[in-house]
Structure 1
Amino acid sequence: MIEETAADASSKTATEQLDWLLGASARAPLPDNEIRQRLAPALLDASGGPDGLNAALAGVGRLVAGKILTTRSDLAQAEVRGRTAVYLLTVRVDGAGLVDNLRLTPDEGEPTSWTRIDTRLAELGTRVSFAAAEIEPDGQCRIAHGLAADTQRPIGSAFKLYVLGALAQAVAEKRAAWDEELAIREDWKSLPSGTLQDRPAGTTLPLAAFADHMISISDNTATDHLIHHLGREAVVRQLSLFGHRQPRENVPFLTTKALFQLKAAPDAARAQQYLALPRHERAAALRELERRPLPDVRKTWPQPKNIDQIEWFASPADICHAYAGLLRLDQPEIHHALSLNDDGLNLDAAQFPAVWYKGGSEPGVVTMHYLARTADGRALATSLMVSDPTTAPDTVDVAAKGQSIIRGAFHLLSHHGEDVAPDHPLA
């Protein structure tokens, strides 16, 4: 493959963009302007911006091309070899020639049995939780297969499911409206991922737009605006309304800005001082942290920092209940926000006409959570959580292997349905 540098991507085919990506993988980190000339803004935001893409490229190492599988103008696929594995690289471009979908998945068939899924899960590390469940019409999650499905783990930005739920609950109770306008405030801005931090203070958007940004590109500024607008207590209440088993573990509820203040400090003193406080004094400490200027995280923390103490927490079973709660609220804006980005899972739309997704990550944490509606209307949910308090898992590798596991789980759930006796019924 031919190495290319930044160029006008307006006429690029998917094959040309795949060539560029392979060449660029040997040159990472890439300049911001080169990345922005190649990737569509929505994909770049969902990837964590230029820093996120460069981190992903560093994780897989130089990609060496093997067999070329697809060469359409809008879609190209090739077998490639990274530092530790062989992958299937898929690149799709939009009408402007910008990459709007980019997937790197293990070059192996998806698991076709729960035993094989367990084998794949064991390859992800020692702290892994997983659940594959059907959400029944009465709202119960019946787990067909699980691994430590009730174990609390750090979930990263997947906590935003509860913020979305709190907003929808407020709408249901006539305390808010999806078309209600909210102004962006300078003191409520956070750091990427996302784009709303770049909007001028005073810019107004409807609450539905804040929700779309929060879920589809994990916009942290959108999230913090909703938390402040609704109140932390409303989000904590939503944990209980959705059947979270240990809501107290998330009290006081962190904003993303507070998390950055505690983890992006140049030394560990701030976090240790916070953890030394009695729990009932921490809310005041968070409010003080949120009044401070945003930290500089151009050099973000590369290794896990207090992921079992300063984070948001849930189990796979809790996540299933959260999805069940969002289904019960039954508002079109919920479906819209959760359907905008499936992170490249690409289930067959004929078999799974509706797919919801929210994931989350930070150094030491990778989580992926999906709900899929089958063609006959059944609701299936999967939740995968991987964490390590001392060593950061390879996010790209875990995500690629995780998606293969999740696709296999959805097909097992859909094919077997009620023929499979659940081994873990949950109310």
Structure 2
Amino acid sequence: MSEETTVDASPSTAARRLEWLVGASARAPLPDDEIRQRLAPALLDAIGGPEGLNAALAGVGRLAVREILTSRPDNAQAAVRGRAADYLVTVGVDGAGLIDDVRLTPDEPSPTSWTDIDGRLARLGVRVSFAAAEIGPDGRCRIRHGLDADTQRPIGSAFKLYVLGALGQAVAEGRASWDEELAIRDDWKSLPGGVLQNRPAGTTLTLGEYADHMISISDNTATDHLIHLLGRDAVQRQTALFGHRQPDANTPFLTTKAFFQLKVDPARARPFLATSGEERAVALKELERLPLPDVRETWPRPFRIDEIEWFASPADICHAFAGLLRLDQPEIHHALSRNDDGLNLDASRFPTVWYKGGSEPGVVTLSYQARTADGRALATSLMVSDPATSIDTADVTVKGQAIIRSVLRLLATPQ
């Protein structure tokens, strides 16, 4: 490939949009109006609005074009140099010239065998757990391939699958309804990600809308409102109902506000970790009554990721997906299928895709459930963590998704 070059914007609208996107990687955060002028509304909604795009650009870091590979009016692809590796960027545009598809993939051949996949997994980090499974008609997970699939790891925001499950369970039992309205409360607000922390107290949303925000853009304020509404005990029970093998690892269940209080202030973390049982539950409530900490950026290095976090194994996450499938509620499907974080599977082969990820310094989690065209439910969960060194989240995400695409293709192939 050639040395770094400048995109020739003349051949196609898609090439001009690709040029803008590569340039934007060095300028984030971008103004909202600049983003809205270039991204199609459906794509922008799926990635969490301008805030979501700016977060993604910040995670990827500055990109530099190495070579233009294709340039058609509706589609362009370039080889780019990233912060940690080389990638392919593909941009698609709609009839109005707005970006309606963006893909970032490693600039290397896709793995084609389980042996190749294991090698790729091993290179992602110091601690890697993975499960590739099929969820049978009986609702049980059958692990087809795994790497420490039963090993418990910190999972970041993937814990929100259990909050969604507790909401679905409450609806199934008649204790809640998806169209029930709940007002935003200042004392239940948390820090980003998300947008609901910016809404004034008293603003009402339905529980379905809270669920959509919680899952599709990992909104922490939406999550904490649902935990408080449902009750911490109900969410803890849901981990057991979904077949989590060590549900006590998440007792008492953290809200995101309490998580941030502990992460940003070691002076609070030490006494909290010294407690147990009922004392810890009381300490958690005291933390939730404190004002939100001032966090302009995340803590730079991993901090007690094996003590202050939410925990599950890849096999546990498969069981959670199976439990959500058993609840069989359209609102659950809607929340989980709004954003695939750029996995971009072939829709003719995988018409339905669920996604939930999670991250903090030292932790990256990617979990998917994909329904094949012939109705089979496939699940994958990748967990990468390092208690001592920060992980390049964007690099692990892009490489992890490349592995997951190949895994799902292998799982979908008849045995």
TM-score, normalisation: structure 2? 0.91
Q: Supply the AA of the counterpart residue of 1:66.
A: E
Correspondence for 2:273: 275
Assess if the C-alpha contact under 8 Å between 2:60 and 2:395 holds in 1: no
Matches within 5 A, 1:112-123: 112-123=112-123
CA distance in 2, matches of 1:314, 1:95: 44
Deviation at 1:269, TM superposition (A): 1.3
Seen in structure 2, the aligned counterparts of structure 1 residues 333 and 95 have a Cα distance that, compared at 3 Å, is farther
Deviation at 1:93, TM superposition (A): 4.8
Deviations 1:89-111 (A, max 9, x none): 12345677665543321012321
Matches within 5 A, 1:310-389: 310-389=308-387
Assess if the C-alpha contact under 8 Å between 1:42 and 1:100 holds in 2: no
Seen in structure 2, the aligned counterparts of structure 1 residues 108 and 24 have a Cα distance that, compared at 3 Å, is same
CA distance in 1, matches of 2:390, 2:346: 32
**Is it true that 1:202 corresponds to 2:225 in the alignment?**
no
Q: Supply the AA of the counterpart residue of 2:164.
A: L
Unaligned runs of 5+ in 2: none
Correspondence for 2:153: 153
Correspondence for 1:67: 68
Correspondence for 1:189: 189
Correspondence for 1:131: 131
Seen in structure 2, the aligned counterparts of structure 1 residues 47 and 260 have a Cα distance that, compared at 3 Å, is farther
Assess if the C-alpha contact under 8 Å between 2:24 and 2:57 holds in 1: no
Assess if the C-alpha contact under 8 Å between 2:60 and 2:82 holds in 1: no
Deviations 1:223-247 (A, max 9, x none): 1110000000000000000000000
1:307 aligns with one of 284, 305, 316:
305
Seen in structure 2, the aligned counterparts of structure 1 residues 379 and 196 have a Cα distance that, compared at 3 Å, is same
Correspondence for 1:8: none
Q: Supply the AA of the counterpart residue of 1:390.
A: A
Matches within 5 A, 1:67-146: 67-73=68-74, 75-93=75-93, 99=99, 101-146=101-146
Seen in structure 2, the aligned counterparts of structure 1 residues 285 and 44 have a Cα distance that, compared at 3 Å, is same
Deviations 1:282-341 (A, max 9, x none): 111111111111112112212111111000000000000000101111111111111111
Seen in structure 2, the aligned counterparts of structure 1 residues 362 and 115 have a Cα distance that, compared at 3 Å, is same
Deviation at 1:382, TM superposition (A): 0.4
Seen in structure 2, the aligned counterparts of structure 1 residues 186 and 152 have a Cα distance that, compared at 3 Å, is same
Assess if the C-alpha contact under 8 Å between 1:46 and 1:216 holds in 2: no
Q: Classify the secondary structure of the residue corresponding to 1:271.
A: helix
CA distance in 1, matches of 2:375, 2:309: 35
Seen in structure 2, the aligned counterparts of structure 1 residues 400 and 281 have a Cα distance that, compared at 3 Å, is same
The answer to which of 135-144 and 236-245 deviates more is 135-144
Deviations 1:120-139 (A, max 9, x none): 00110220000000011111
TM-score, normalisation: structure 1? 0.89
The answer to which of 96-105 and 212-221 deviates more is 96-105
**Is it true that 1:42 corresponds to 2:42 in the alignment?**
no
Aligned residues: 404
Assess if the C-alpha contact under 8 Å between 2:317 and 2:381 holds in 1: yes
Deviation at 1:362, TM superposition (A): 0.7
Correspondence for 1:390: 388
The answer to which of 84-93 and 115-124 deviates more is 84-93
Q: Supply the AA of the counterpart residue of 1:316.
A: P
Q: Classify the secondary structure of the residue corresponding to 2:150.
A: coil
CA distance in 2, matches of 1:296, 1:95: 43
Identity %: 68
CA distance in 2, matches of 1:51, 1:272: 34
Correspondence for 1:178: 178
Correspondence for 1:406: 404
CA distance in 2, matches of 1:294, 1:313: 24
Seen in structure 2, the aligned counterparts of structure 1 residues 101 and 269 have a Cα distance that, compared at 3 Å, is farther
Q: Supply the AA of the counterpart residue of 1:399.
A: T
Correspondence for 2:168: 168
Assess if the C-alpha contact under 8 Å between 1:129 and 1:148 holds in 2: yes
CA distance in 1, matches of 2:406, 2:50: 24
Q: Classify the secondary structure of the residue corresponding to 2:76.
A: strand
Assess if the C-alpha contact under 8 Å between 1:2 and 1:23 holds in 2: no
Deviation at 1:281, TM superposition (A): 1.1
Deviation at 1:356, TM superposition (A): 0.6
Assess if the C-alpha contact under 8 Å between 1:111 and 1:117 holds in 2: yes
Q: Name the Cα RMSD after superposition.
A: 2.3
Assess if the C-alpha contact under 8 Å between 1:150 and 1:316 holds in 2: yes
Seen in structure 2, the aligned counterparts of structure 1 residues 70 and 258 have a Cα distance that, compared at 3 Å, is farther
Assess if the C-alpha contact under 8 Å between 1:32 and 1:50 holds in 2: no
Q: Classify the secondary structure of the residue corresponding to 2:176.
A: coil
Unaligned runs of 5+ in 1: 4-11, 420-427
CA distance in 2, matches of 1:298, 1:51: 15
CA distance in 1, matches of 2:53, 2:286: 31
The answer to which of 224-233 and 293-302 deviates more is 293-302
CA distance in 2, matches of 1:150, 1:188: 34
Seen in structure 2, the aligned counterparts of structure 1 residues 93 and 197 have a Cα distance that, compared at 3 Å, is farther
